[in-house]
């Protein structure tokens, strides 16, 4: 095997192998585990870097492995997959550092980090999937790898949450599987091809294709938390903070959204999907989700639940972008894949810091927390503003392209109001938090202060990840037009999809 055929596999193995080894490490071998984790993360980033360099220089990377006649496991590095891969590898590194700090003293760390690595491996595999078949495989693997993470604490609530998570995701996976097989039965293959593979089919198949689209989107929509398939997301909030970060920003939710992008662009082809009329349906579903999630978030006092509903809302921006015909909307959707990830992970890191440092779980307990934990709160603020879409944080760029794309596609009539309403609602649930954190006087005692303020407001391993990701979120917006920025990347992808 040369590098062209092995590199995508190696990218997966770089987290898979350390994960497998970690399973067997005794609980006490903290240093070895940390070394393995970080080594894996850095190796992955290095390999992804090589991939990116190669792909931008016209090199083609593909690992192909036949699983059954006509069914190949294909790992293929194209620009879209690399975008997601780089997002997850970078965020994985950050999250790993964070998780090491977060779980410093808690039990079963080997198990945790083992599944953690599996989870990322599945995500990377999903990102690199070269056909829908491979995608489905990693999609299900992701479900499996996250279950133990959600259930990690072992409390009845955790297990209940995990069960609900599983009920939703496995049902979704089944729908996705049926849709995929159906598609396979019609087309005989499920490869991701820029511009789609279905437009050549005669019109007698169109009804079937619409049904298949519904199945696929319903299946992906569970992970992407499209209303009404979102019910698992708030329940899965029982998981430890790094897991929530992973679920919401890097892996699970993103996988669903990424899948929607793949299906629309590389299976159906956005033009063909638009002709079928399914894009509009997708867009409306996304719009409803965006508003619904925001409204629900308004009424949550639990910080993590508020963030969870925020995710419900935000991830559908991606679907919305996908539903907008035209390169600009596409850019908006794809770039939000990255932007939402870094912003949301910041928020979850910060929420985790509040919980871990001061025992704060509720918004109503956050009075004056900005003074006690300025770094964390600053990071939180930047991310929250980004979520609202305030420039120059990354979220604005996404919103901008979505809006512009909608205008271009003649959908401004309802997309813009949705965006506006959602931003208003986002402001409605984020800004009060910021107000409390920065302007209210703190309570005399924090709910449960574990970590006293010393040199930093909390452990370094907890403090730096949100700051790094907040800086990333800011940078992604500020330098959006710079080369190699997510936006540039998304533009390249969109150009390819539209054959520009």
Partner 1 sequence: MTDALIALVALPLTAALLALLLPRIATALVIFSGLAITASAIALLYGVNTAGALHYELGGWTAGLGIALRADGLSAILLLMIALVMFAASVYASAYFGKASERAQFWPLWLLLWTALNALLLSGDLFNLYVTLELLGLSAVALAALSGKHAAVQAALRYLLVGLLGSMLFLVGVALLYAGYATLDLATLTQVVKPGPIAWSALTLMTLGLLLKTALFPLHFWLPPAHGSAPAPVSAVLSALVVKAAFYLVLRLWLDVFADIVTPTAANLLGVLGAGAVLWGSWQALRAERLKLLAAYSTVAQLGYLFLFFPLLLALPPGPARDVATGGLVMLALTHGFAKAGLFLAIGIVQQRSGHDNIQELGGMVQRLPLTTFAIALAGVALIGLPPSGTFLGKWQLISAAIATGQWLWVAVTAIGSLLAAAYIFRILGHAFGNQPYPHQAVAVAREEWPALLLTLTATLVLGLAGAHVWTLLENGS
Partner 2 sequence: MNAAMLLLIWLLPLLLAALSGQRYARWLTVIAVLPALIAALTVPIGTTVSLPWLLLGVELGLDKTGRLFLLFSSLLWLAASLFAIGSPKGNIDSTRFRVFFLLAMAGNLGLIVAQDMLSFYLGFTLMGLAAYGLVAHPASLRARRAARRYLAWTIAGELILFSAIVILAQQSGGLSFQMLKTTTPSDLVVLLLIVGFGIKLALPGLHLWLPQAYAVAPAPAVAVLSGAMIKAGLLGWLRFLPPGDAALIGWGEVLMVVGVIGIFFGAINGLLQRHPRLLLGYSSISKMGVLTLGIGAAWAWPAAAPALISALVIYAAHHALVKGALFLGLGLVERGGLRPWIWAGLGFLALALAGAPLTSGALAKSMLTTSLPDQAHSLLTVLGVAAFTTVALMARLLYLLWQQPAKPVAPHAMLSMLAWLLLLALIALVPFTQADASQLFSGGVALLLGLIAAALVVQNKQRLPELAKAQGRSPKARRYLRARWHRIVLLMRAMQTRSRTLGSTRRVIENSMHDALQPGQQLQSKKGTDSWPLIGSLWLGIGALLLGALMMMT
- The one of partner 2, partner 1, none whose footprint includes residue 140, by CB under 5 to 8 A per kind, is partner 1
Size of the site for partner 2 (CB under 8 A): 42
- The one of partner 1, partner 2, none whose footprint includes residue 182, by CB under 5 to 8 A per kind, is partner 1
Give me Rg for the CA atoms of the chain. 21
**Closer residue to partner 1 (CB): 219 or 405:** 219
- The one of partner 2, partner 1, none whose footprint includes residue 138, by CB under 5 to 8 A per kind, is partner 1
- The one of partner 2, partner 1, none whose footprint includes residue 155, by CB under 5 to 8 A per kind, is partner 1
String marking each residue 275-304 x if it binds partner 2 according to CB under 8 A: --------------------xx--x-----
Instruction: Candidates 80-88, 265-273, 358-366, 433-441: pick the segment binding partner 2 (CB under 8 A).
Output: 433-441
**Closer residue to partner 2 (CB): 136 or 308:** 308
Question: Is 2 a residue that touches partner 2 (CB under 8 A)?
Answer: no
Report yes or no: 400 and 329 within 8 Å, Cβ to Cβ.
no
- The one of partner 1, partner 2, none whose footprint includes residue 136, by CB under 5 to 8 A per kind, is partner 1
* SS3 per residue for the chain: CCHHHHHHHHHHHHHHHHHHHHHCCCCCCHHHHHHHHHHHHHHHHHHHHHHHHHHHCCCCEEEEEEEECCEEEEEEECHHHHHHHHHHHHHHHHHHHHHHHHCCCCCCHHHHHHHHHHHHHHHHHHHHECEHHHHHHHHHHHHHHHHHHHCCCCCHHHHHHHHHHHHHHHHHHHHHHHHHHHHHHHHCCCECCCCCCCCCCCHHHHHHHHHHHHHHHHHHHHHCCCCCCCCHHHHHHHCCHHHHHHHHHHCHHHHHHHHHHHHHHHHHCHHHHHHHCHHHHHHHHHHHHHHHHHHHHHCCCEHHHHHHHHHHHHHHHHHHHHHCCCHHHHHHHHHHHHHHHHHHHHHHHHHHHHHHHHCCCEHHHCCCHHHHCHHHHHHHHHHHHHHHCCCCCHHHHHHHHHHHHHHHCCCHHHHHHHHHHHHHHHHHHHHHHHHHHHHCCCCCCCCCCCCCCCCCCCCHHHHHHHHHHHHHHHHHHHCCCCCCCHHHHHHHHHHHHCCC
Question: Is 461 a residue that touches partner 2 (CB under 8 A)?
Answer: no
Strand 71-77 and strand 61-68: the pairing is: antiparallel
- The one of partner 1, partner 2, none whose footprint includes residue 185, by CB under 5 to 8 A per kind, is partner 1
String marking each residue 185-204 x if it binds partner 2 according to CB under 8 A: --------------------
Residues that bind partner 1 (CB under 8 A): 65-71, 73, 107-108, 111, 133, 136-138, 140-141, 143-144, 147-148, 151-156, 158-159, 162-163, 166-167, 170-171, 173-175, 177-178, 181-182, 184-185
Question: Tokens at residue 426, please?
Answer: 């986002």
Among 101, 179, 352, 477, binds partner 2 (CB under 8 A): 477
Q: Write down the least CB distance from residue 7 to partner 1, Å.
A: 19
- The one of partner 1, partner 2, none whose footprint includes residue 3, by CB under 5 to 8 A per kind, is none
φ, ψ for residue 192, nearest 5 deg: -85, 115
Q: Which residue has the tokens 């790993």?
A: 96
**Closer residue to partner 1 (CB): 145 or 279:** 145
Among 282, 308, 334, 487, binds partner 2 (CB under 8 A): 487
Per CB under 8 A, which of residues 223..262 are in contact with partner 2? 231
- The one of partner 2, partner 1, none whose footprint includes residue 56, by CB under 5 to 8 A per kind, is none
Question: Is 416 a residue that touches partner 2 (CB under 8 A)?
Answer: yes
Q: Write down the least CB distance from residue 464 to partner 2, Å.
A: 17
Report the Cα–Cα distance between both ends of the chain, in Å, rounded.
34
Per CB under 8 A, which of residues 310..369 are in contact with partner 2? none
- The one of partner 1, partner 2, none whose footprint includes residue 108, by CB under 5 to 8 A per kind, is partner 1
Question: Is 388 a residue that touches partner 2 (CB under 8 A)?
Answer: yes
**Alpha-carbon span 394 to 389, nearest angstrom:** 8
Instruction: Candidates 7-15, 97-105, 141-149, 475-483: pick the segment binding partner 2 (CB under 8 A).
Output: 475-483
- The one of partner 1, partner 2, none whose footprint includes residue 66, by CB under 5 to 8 A per kind, is partner 1
Summarize as ranges the residues that interact with partner 2 (CB under 8 A): 160, 163-164, 167, 231, 295-296, 299, 385, 388-392, 397, 399-400, 403-404, 406-408, 412, 416, 419-420, 423-424, 427, 431, 435, 438-439, 441, 477-483, 487
């Amino acid at each position: 095997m040369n590098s062209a055929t092995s590199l995508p596999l190696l990218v997966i193995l770089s987290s898979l192998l350390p994960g497998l080894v970690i399973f067997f490490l005794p609980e006490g071998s903290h240093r070895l585990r940390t070394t393995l984790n970080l080594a894996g993360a850095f190796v992955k980033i290095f390999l992804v870097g090589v991939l990116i360099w190669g792909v931008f220089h016209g090199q083609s990377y593909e690992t192909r492995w036949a699983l059954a006649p006509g069914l190949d496991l294909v790992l293929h590095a194209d620009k879209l997959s690399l975008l997601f891969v780089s997002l997850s590898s970078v965020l994985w590194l950050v999250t790993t550092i964070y998780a090491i700090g977060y779980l410093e003293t808690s039990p079963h760390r080997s198990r945790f980090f083992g599944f953690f690595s599996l989870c990322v491996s599945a995500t990377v595999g999903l990102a690199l999937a070269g056909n829908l078949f491979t995608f489905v495989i990693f999609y299900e693997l992701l479900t499996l790898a996250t279950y133990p993470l959600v259930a990690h604490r072992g409390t009845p609530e955790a297990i209940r949450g995990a069960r609900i998570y599983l009920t939703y995701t496995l049902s979704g996976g089944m729908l996705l599987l049926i849709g995929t097989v159906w598609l396979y039965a019609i087309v005989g293959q499920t490869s991701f091809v820029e511009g789609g593979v279905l437009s050549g089919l005669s019109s007698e198949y169109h009804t079937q294709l619409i049904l298949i689209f519904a199945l696929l989107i319903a299946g992906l929509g569970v992970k992407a938390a499209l209303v009404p398939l979102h019910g698992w997301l708030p329940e899965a909030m029982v998981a430890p903070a790094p897991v929530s970060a992973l679920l919401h920003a890097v892996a699970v939710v993103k996988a669903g959204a990424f899948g929607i992008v793949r299906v629309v662009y590389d299976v159906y082809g956005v033009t063909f999907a638009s002709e079928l009329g399914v894009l509009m349906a997708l867009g409306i579903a996304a719009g409803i989700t965006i508003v619904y999630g925001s409204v629900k978030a308004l009424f949550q006092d639990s910080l993590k639940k508020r963030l969870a509903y925020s995710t419900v809302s935000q991830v559908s921006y991606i679907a919305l972008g996908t539903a907008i015909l035209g390169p600009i909307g596409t850019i908006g959707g794809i770039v939000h894949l990255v932007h939402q990830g870094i912003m949301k992970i910041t928020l979850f890191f910060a929420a985790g810091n509040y919980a871990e440092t001061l025992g704060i779980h509720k918004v109503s307990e956050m009075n004056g927390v900005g003074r006690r934990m300025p770094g964390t709160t600053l990071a939180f603020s930047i991310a929250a503003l980004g979520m609202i879409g305030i420039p120059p944080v990354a979220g604005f760029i996404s919103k901008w392209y979505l809006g512009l794309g909608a205008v271009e596609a003649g959908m401004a009539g309802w997309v813009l109001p949705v965006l506006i309403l959602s931003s208003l609602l986002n402001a409605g649930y984020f800004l009060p938090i910021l107000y409390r954190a920065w302007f209210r006087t703190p309570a005399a005692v924090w709910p449960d202060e574990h970590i006293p303020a010393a040199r930093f407001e909390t452990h370094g391993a907890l403090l730096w990840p949100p700051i790094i990701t907040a800086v990333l979120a800011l940078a992604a917006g500020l330098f959006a037009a710079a080369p190699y920025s997510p936006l540039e990347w998304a533009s390249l992808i969109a150009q390819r999809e539209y054959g520009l």
